Amino acid sequence: MDAINWDAVSALAEIIGVITVVGSLVFVGFQMRQTAKAINMNSTHAIHEAWRDSCFRVAECDAITSVMHREIADADSLDGIDKYRFALTMQALLQNYSNAFYQSRIGTLDAFTWESIDAQFGNFLKVPAIRGYWERSGSNYPKSFVDYINHEVLDRNVEDGYRVHGT
């Protein structure tokens, strides 16, 4: 019987070990990529939900719908509790927009969703009452978001101003 060549066995074991490590790294890389995609999808879904829910809240609440409509029609029409309702509604909408801005900048929001939200809200900010609210309260938001709104969004041309879909 021939003697076992332990050097050959050792070399074979090292090769098998390297193949196993490389295979494990490929698998981990694949899993990380899948996890990143899932995070991006969850982020996009959450932002869509927040945006949709904000619109629904305005639409479903007669008081808020009335306040938004009156303020958009005449920027000086509100007083008291209605001015406060308008401010809170705008704060919620701007917070959603700010979040979408941030998520798009860190890469967890896809370009299609960001462009849609940005176009809608960018046009919304062209309404005198909305722009006036921004000018009074914009400093409450992160500097990068404020700079984006003031130097990019508000400088865009919007031919007909903001229109709610279907009106």
Q: pLDDT tens string for the chain (167 positions)?
A: 577 888 888 888 899 999 999 989 888 888 888 887 787 778 777 877 887 788 788 888 888 888 888 888 887 788 888 888 889 888 988 998 999 999 899 888 888 888 888 988 888 888 888 888 999 999 999 999 999 999 988 887 765 454 554 44
Q: What helix, strand, coil percent values describe the chain, rounded to 5?
A: 80, 0, 20
Query: How far is 122 from 113, CA to CA, in rounded Å?
Result: 14
DSSP type of residue 152: I
Has residue 54 been placed in a domain? yes
Has residue 158 been placed in a domain? no
Has residue 84 been placed in a domain? yes
Has residue 85 been placed in a domain? yes
Domain carrying residue 108: 6-153
- Residue 1's pLDDT is 57
Has residue 162 been placed in a domain? no
Q: What's the structural domain count of the chain?
A: 1
pTM here?
Answer: 0.69
Has residue 91 been placed in a domain? yes
Half-sphere exposure of 53 (CA within 13 A, CB side): 10
Lookup: tokens for 13: 């074991």
Kindly report the length of the chain: 167
- Residue 156's pLDDT is 79
Has residue 163 been placed in a domain? no
- Residue 137's pLDDT is 92
Has residue 166 been placed in a domain? no
